[in-house]
Amino acid sequence: MTLRREAFLDHVKERGEYGTAEEAERAARVVLALLGAHLVGEVRAQLAARLPEGFALILLNPLQSAEPLTPERFVRATAAWIEGATEQTAAWDVSAVLSTVADAAGDDLLGQILLQLPTGYDLLFGRPRST
């Protein structure tokens, strides 16, 4: 089931404790553009199908990444794309967006997503895995 745009942004806004929907949207756009560069094939398509249309398009037309970023570098890259962000605020942005994405994806799809990402992303999605 696809989340409506307002519902998706409300979740991000609440989790990120943003003052405005615009701030939540900016974080969502950057994080999804970076995430999309790390996912391929059916997994990316399935995740896109569960996101509101505008965000699905961002996921499907991502920023190109030469190599998979570690979770730390993913947060750093997010900070670089959001004006005025620090690594601390970017970590907050990533967490707010990816935990909302995890809810939209559901456990089965999230498991497949995590298989495509470097170790440690489970924490960014707010779903720590027991090792």
Q: What is the CATH number of the domain that holds 103?
A: 1.10.490.110
Check residue 131 and give its pLDDT: 56
Domains: count for the chain: 1
Q: Let me know if residue 131 belongs to a domain.
A: no
Q: Which domain holds residue 57?
A: 5-124
Structure tokens at 103: 């809810």
Exposed/middle/buried for residue 120 (C-beta within 10 Å: 0-12, 13-18, 19+): middle
| Per-residue pLDDT tens digits for 95-117 | 999 999 999 999 999 999 999 99
Q: Is residue 27 part of a domain?
A: yes
Residue 129 lies in a domain: no
Encode pLDDT of 10-60 as tens digits: 999 999 999 999 999 999 999 999 999 999 999 999 999 999 999 999 999
Give domain status of residue 76, yes or no: yes
Distances (CA, A) of 20 to 16, 52, 70, 80: 10, 19, 29, 21
Select from 69, 81, 68 the least CA-distant residue to 27.
Answer: 81
Structure confidence at residue 130 as a pLDDT band (50, 70, 90): low
Residue 83 structure tokens: 């004006």
Question: For 93, phi and psi rounded to 5 degrees?
Answer: -60, -50
Distance in angstroms (rounded) separating the CA atoms of residues 129 and 119:
10
